[in-house]
Amino acid sequence: MVYSVFAGVTATLSGLLANAYPSLSQGEIGVCFLAIGLGCAFGSCLNGLILDWEFRRIKKSIERKRKQDGNEKINDEKCEAGKESSDFPIEYARLRGIPLHVLVFVASIIGYAWAIQKAVHIAVPLVLQFFSVSTIIIPFINLLIKGFSRILNHKCIEYGADDIT
């Protein structure tokens, strides 16, 4: 559902901008697509920082619990490589922030629709588009790419290749 909204906004951008801002040329409308590209790049970088922080935070939490129980630390190699282990909830670390990202996405899309409808300054819909894309790319990366890498990794191992993740 979220991807459909994202695709719809991207596909209709040039038509919406041409109707709301008739003074824009086709070249200027084309430059407006940079907000989407920059939002994707920013969101991808932000995703790495967020996931690193989440992994460290959850690892510390688990190590505190294990220390209280008298157990050893988590294996750093497995944790840092993102490999699953029985004591590290990788899905929890990856998916924990998705509701917040979707909420910001929905709010920015509502603001984007309002800005286009009212034909406010062109910077407003472009900034909202930047935020919507930068927040929604994070769940896409976490859900889709990691899921596909597991499938690809399984197929590579099946055909005799080494672990690619």
In this prediction, residue 121 has a pLDDT band, given cuts at 50, 70 and 90, of: very high
Q: Please tell me the least confidently modeled range out of 7-11, 95-99, 107-111, 147-151.
A: 147-151
Q: Is the pLDDT of residue 50 over 80?
A: yes
Q: pTM score > 0.75 for this model?
A: no
- Residue 85 phi, psi dihedral angles, 5° rounding: -135, 165
Q: Are 131 and 104 in contact (CB under 8 A)?
A: yes
Number of residues in the chain: 165
- pLDDT average, residue stretch 42-48: 85
CA distance 91 to 69: 23
Question: Which residue is associated with the tokens 């509701």?
Answer: 99
